[in-house]
Chains A and B, each alone.
Chain A
Amino acid sequence: MAPSPKILMGEKKSDSGDLLRDTLDLLILKTLSRGAMHGYGIAEYIHDISDDVLRVEEGALYPALHRLELRGWLAAEWGVSENNRRAKFYRLTVAGRRQLADETAHWARMSAAIARILEPA
Chain B
Amino acid sequence: MSRESLTKFWLRIKALVVRRRLDRDLEEELQFHLVMRAEKNGSEGSGPEEARAAARRRFGNVALLKEICRELWTFAPLETFWQDVRYTIRMLLKNPGFTTVAILTLALGISVNTTIFSVVNTMLLRKPPVQDPDRLMMVSTIDPTLNFNADQSGVSAPDYLDWRAQSGSFAGMAAANFDTVTVSGDVNPEQLPAARIAPDYFAVAGVAPALGRPFLPGEDQAGRDHVVILSDAIWHSRFGSDRGVLGRTLKVNGAEYSIVGVMPASFHLANFPSKLWVPLVFTRDNLSDAGRADRWLNVFARLKPGVDMPRARSEMQSIAGRLAANHPATNKDRGASVKTLQQYCIEDNGANSALAFLMAAVAFVLLIACANLANLLLARNNARRREFSIRSVIGAGRFRLARQLLTESVFLSLLGGGLGIGLGYAFLRLILSRFNWNADTVAMAQEITMDTHVLAFTVALSIFAAILFGIAPALQISRGNSASDLKEGGRGSTAGRAHHRLQRILVVGQLALSLFLLVGASIFVESFIEEIHAKEGMNSRNLLTATIPLRGLEYLKPDRQREFAASMLQHTANLPGVESAAISTDLPFNFPGSTHFIVEGHDVASVEDAPHCGYFAVSQNYFSTTQIPLLQGREFTSADSADAPPVMIVNEAFARKYFPGASPLGQHIRFGPDPTQTKNWSEIVGVVGNVSEFLGQVQPSPELFVPLAANPTPLLRVIARTQTAPLTLADSLRGAVWTVDSGQAVTEVRTMQRVVTDSGGGDDLMAELMGSFAGIALVLGAIGIYGLLSYLVGQRTHELGIRMALGANPGEVLRLVIRNGMSLVVTGVAIGFLASLALPKLVTAGFQDMRFHGGWVLALTPPIVLLVGLVACYVPARRAMRVDPMVALRYE
Q: In the complex, what distance in Å separates the CA atom of A92 from the CA atom of B138?
A: 73
Closest to A78 in B: B25
Q: In the complex, what distance in Å separates the CA atom of A31 from the CA atom of B104?
A: 64
Convert B24-40 into 0s and 1s, putting 1 for each residue whose CB lies closer than 8 angstroms to a CB of A.
01001110110111010
**Which residues of the partner chain B approach A106 to less than 8 Å between Cβ atoms?**
none
Cβ A81 vs Cβ B72 within 8 A: no
Partner of A40, one of B4, B5, B12, B37: B37
Assign chain A's interface to a size class.
Answer: 20 to 34
**Which residues of the partner chain A approach B29 to less than 8 Å between Cβ atoms?**
39, 62, 87-88
Given contacts A40-B33, A40-B36, A86-B32, contact A8 B58 (CB under 8 A): no
Q: In the complex, what distance in Å separates the CA atom of A78 from the CA atom of B64?
A: 23
Convert B59-86 into 0s and 1s, putting 1 for each residue whose CB lies closer than 8 angstroms to a CB of A.
1110011001100110000000000000
Q: How many residues of B contact A (CB 8 A)?
A: 28
**Which residues of the partner chain A approach B72 to less than 8 Å between Cβ atoms?**
63, 66-67, 70
Q: In the complex, what distance in Å separates the CA atom of A69 from the CA atom of B14?
A: 13
**Which residues of the partner chain A approach B65 to less than 8 Å between Cβ atoms?**
58-59, 62-63
Cβ B69 vs Cβ A72 within 8 A: no
B237 contacts partner chain A, Cβ-Cβ < 8 Å: no
Closest to B72 in A: A66
Given contacts A8-B2, A88-B29, contact A72 B7 (CB under 8 A): yes
B556 contacts partner chain A, Cβ-Cβ < 8 Å: no
Q: In the complex, what distance in Å separates the CA atom of A5 from the CA atom of B8?
A: 13
B838 contacts partner chain A, Cβ-Cβ < 8 Å: no
Q: In the complex, what distance in Å separates the CA atom of A62 from the CA atom of B28?
A: 13
A85 contacts partner chain B, Cβ-Cβ < 8 Å: yes
B11 contacts partner chain A, Cβ-Cβ < 8 Å: yes
Closest to B69 in A: A66
**Which residues of the partner chain B approach A70 to less than 8 Å between Cβ atoms?**
7-8, 11-12, 72-73
Which of B2, B12, B28, B36 has most A Cβ within 10 Å? B36
Cβ B32 vs Cβ A58 within 8 A: no
Cβ B32 vs Cβ A85 within 8 A: yes
B36 to chain A, nearest CB (A): 4
Cβ A81 vs Cβ B59 within 8 A: no
Given contacts A66-B73, A70-B73, A86-B28, contact A58 B33 (CB under 8 A): yes
A11 to chain B, nearest CB (A): 9
Cβ A5 vs Cβ B32 within 8 A: no
Convert A61-85 into 0s and 1s, putting 1 for each residue whose CB lies closer than 8 angstroms to a CB of B.
0110011011110000010010101
Q: In the complex, what distance in Å separates the CA atom of A9 from the CA atom of B8?
A: 9
A57 contacts partner chain B, Cβ-Cβ < 8 Å: yes
Cβ A63 vs Cβ B69 within 8 A: yes
A91 contacts partner chain B, Cβ-Cβ < 8 Å: no
Closest to A61 in B: B33
A83 to chain B, nearest CB (A): 8
Given contacts A66-B73, A87-B32, contact A59 B4 (CB under 8 A): no
Cβ B8 vs Cβ A40 within 8 A: no
Partner of A58, one of B11, B12, B59: B59
Q: In the complex, what distance in Å separates the CA atom of A72 from the CA atom of B28?
A: 22
**Which residues of the partner chain A approach B4 to less than 8 Å between Cβ atoms?**
5, 8-9, 71-72, 95
Closest to A99 in B: B4
Convert B765-790 into 0s and 1s, putting 1 for each residue whose CB lies closer than 8 angstroms to a CB of A.
00000000000000000000000000
Closest to A93 in B: B7
**Which residues of the partner chain A approach B8 to less than 8 Å between Cβ atoms?**
9, 70-72
Within A25-72, which residues are at the interface with B (CB < 8 Å)?
38-40, 43, 57-59, 62-63, 66-67, 69-72
Q: In the complex, what distance in Å separates the CA atom of A38 from the CA atom of B4?
A: 23
Given contacts A9-B8, A40-B36, A72-B7, contact A63 B68 (CB under 8 A): yes
Q: In the complex, what distance in Å separates the CA atom of A49 from the CA atom of B36?
A: 19
Cβ A81 vs Cβ B32 within 8 A: yes
Q: In the complex, what distance in Å separates the CA atom of A66 from the CA atom of B73?
A: 8
Q: In the complex, what distance in Å separates the CA atom of A11 from the CA atom of B3?
A: 16
Q: In the complex, what distance in Å separates the CA atom of A71 from the CA atom of B12?
A: 11
Partner of A59, one of B11, B37, B61: B61
Cβ B28 vs Cβ A58 within 8 A: no
Cβ B33 vs Cβ A9 within 8 A: no
Q: In the complex, what distance in Å separates the CA atom of A81 from the CA atom of B8?
A: 28
Which of A58, A78, A87 has most B Cβ within 10 Å? A58
Q: In the complex, what distance in Å separates the CA atom of A86 from the CA atom of B25?
A: 10
Q: In the complex, what distance in Å separates the CA atom of A63 from the CA atom of B65?
A: 8
**Which residues of the partner chain A approach B25 to less than 8 Å between Cβ atoms?**
78, 88
A99 to chain B, nearest CB (A): 10
**Which residues of the partner chain B approach A9 to less than 8 Å between Cβ atoms?**
4-5, 8
B24 to chain A, nearest CB (A): 11
Cβ A71 vs Cβ B7 within 8 A: yes
Cβ A57 vs Cβ B7 within 8 A: no
Cβ A58 vs Cβ B68 within 8 A: no
Given contacts A72-B8, A88-B25, contact A57 B32 (CB under 8 A): no
**Which residues of the partner chain B approach A59 to less than 8 Å between Cβ atoms?**
59-61, 64-65, 68
Q: In the complex, what distance in Å separates the CA atom of A85 from the CA atom of B37?
A: 13
**Which residues of the partner chain B approach A72 to less than 8 Å between Cβ atoms?**
3-4, 7-8
Cβ B32 vs Cβ A40 within 8 A: yes
Q: In the complex, what distance in Å separates the CA atom of A58 from the CA atom of B37?
A: 11
Given contacts A58-B58, A72-B4, contact A39 B68 (CB under 8 A): no
Q: In the complex, what distance in Å separates the CA atom of A70 from the CA atom of B3?
A: 12
Q: In the complex, what distance in Å separates the CA atom of A83 from the CA atom of B39?
A: 11
**Which residues of the partner chain A approach B28 to less than 8 Å between Cβ atoms?**
86, 88
Q: In the complex, what distance in Å separates the CA atom of A38 from the CA atom of B32?
A: 10
Q: In the complex, what distance in Å separates the CA atom of A89 from the CA atom of B766?
A: 77
**Which residues of the partner chain B approach A40 to less than 8 Å between Cβ atoms?**
32-33, 36-37
Q: In the complex, what distance in Å separates the CA atom of A85 from the CA atom of B35?
A: 10
B221 to chain A, nearest CB (A): 76
**Which residues of the partner chain B approach A39 to less than 8 Å between Cβ atoms?**
29, 32-33
**Which residues of the partner chain A approach B68 to less than 8 Å between Cβ atoms?**
59, 63
Closest to B30 in A: A62
Q: In the complex, what distance in Å separates the CA atom of A87 from the CA atom of B61?
A: 21
B848 to chain A, nearest CB (A): 63
Closest to A67 in B: B72
Q: In the complex, what distance in Å separates the CA atom of A88 from the CA atom of B29?
A: 6
Nearest first, the 8 A-B pairs at minimum CB distance are: A72-B7, A40-B36, A40-B33, A88-B29, A59-B60, A87-B32, A70-B8, A58-B59
16 of the cross-chain contacts (CB-CB < 8 Å) are: A39-B29, A40-B33, A43-B33, A57-B58, A59-B61, A59-B64, A62-B33, A66-B73, A70-B12, A70-B72, A71-B4, A83-B39, A85-B36, A87-B29, A88-B25, A95-B4
Point out residues on A near B: beta carbons under 8 Å.
Answer: 5, 8-9, 38-40, 43, 57-59, 62-63, 66-67, 69-72, 78, 81, 83, 85-88, 95
Query: Known contacts A8-B2, A58-B59, A58-B60; can you find 13 more A-B pairs with CB under 8 A?
Result: A8-B4, A40-B32, A43-B33, A58-B65, A59-B59, A63-B68, A66-B69, A69-B11, A70-B11, A78-B25, A85-B36, A88-B28, A95-B3
